[in-house]
A and B are shown apart, each in its own frame.
Chain A
Amino acid sequence: GNSVTQMEGPVTLSEEAFLTINCTYTATGYPSLFWYVQYPGEGLQLLLKATKADDKGSNKGFEATYRKETTSFHLEKGSVQVSDSAVYFCACSGTYKYIFGTGTRLKVLA
């Protein structure tokens, strides 16, 4: 079945630093790929998605590109803010099932 591997956290950065969170997947067929964000005490919210190879998803300064050749979907942001502190999940779609990575906690210090 499909699986997702993402880098372990926690990741601690200073405000305005560059962020990369690595994510790789294994899947049959052509899944959609997602990044979700979870703030304390809340459910997951979609951050961005890509549905086919070479698509770039972007939202709120975050970006990720669907790379079929390396089976990766790394999350990047050029300049993080304190308000970006949260847990980030990479996910891969499957038939009636979404597979999530283990989550990466990001802490941004002022």
Chain B
Amino acid sequence: DTAVSQTPKYLVTQMGNDKSIKCEQNLGHDTMYWYKQDSKKFLKIMFSYNNKELIINETVPNRFSPKSPDKAHLNLHINSLELGDSAVYFCASSQDSGYEKLFFGSGTQLSVL
């Protein structure tokens, strides 16, 4: 059973389109995250949620809108996609607010053409 699953694994789309990435965790964790990994492998936090509430928004453009319908799900919707949005997006979860380990999904490779 996959602990943190995100879909789709690959997403290829045109500039200006709107797309969504879904994430689900079956670990019973309270906290979920979105990270962006660029082509140089640099990982940067975008958002963190605790029990469906937004805790961290790390100066992400408001074209990115996360939504957490329940604490097991954290989806990411992106409006008006730009070339610079091309990256790998990782969903993750943790048991607490930041002392236990992160569990990562396998990533969504987004390519904006």
User: Which residues of A are interface residues toward B (Cβ below 8 A)?
Assistant: 31-32, 34, 36, 38, 41-46, 49, 51, 87, 89, 91, 93-100, 102-103, 105
Contacts and interface: CB of A to CB of B under 8 A. Distances in A.
11 contacts: A31-B98, A32-B100, A38-B41, A42-B106, A91-B102, A95-B97, A96-B31, A97-B48, A98-B102, A100-B42, A103-B41
Interface string B54-73: 01101000000000000000
Nearest to A2: B98
B43 A89 contact: yes
A49 B98 CA distance: 13
Interface string B90-102: 1010100111111
Nearest to A9: B41
Given A51-B99, A96-B31, 8 more contacts: A31-B99, A36-B102, A43-B104, A45-B104, A91-B102, A96-B98, A100-B42, A102-B42
Contacts, number: 64
B101 A34 contact: yes
A43 B97 contact: no
Interface in B21-56: 31, 33, 40-45, 48, 50, 55-56
A89 B48 CA distance: 20
A98 B107 contact: no
Contacts of A100: 42-44
Contact of A43 (B42, B55, B107): B107
A97 B106 CA distance: 19
B104 to A, nearest CB: 4
A110 B103 CA distance: 31
A49 B103 CA distance: 13
A54 to B, nearest CB: 17
A4 to B, nearest CB: 10
A22 B99 CA distance: 21
A99 B43 CA distance: 8
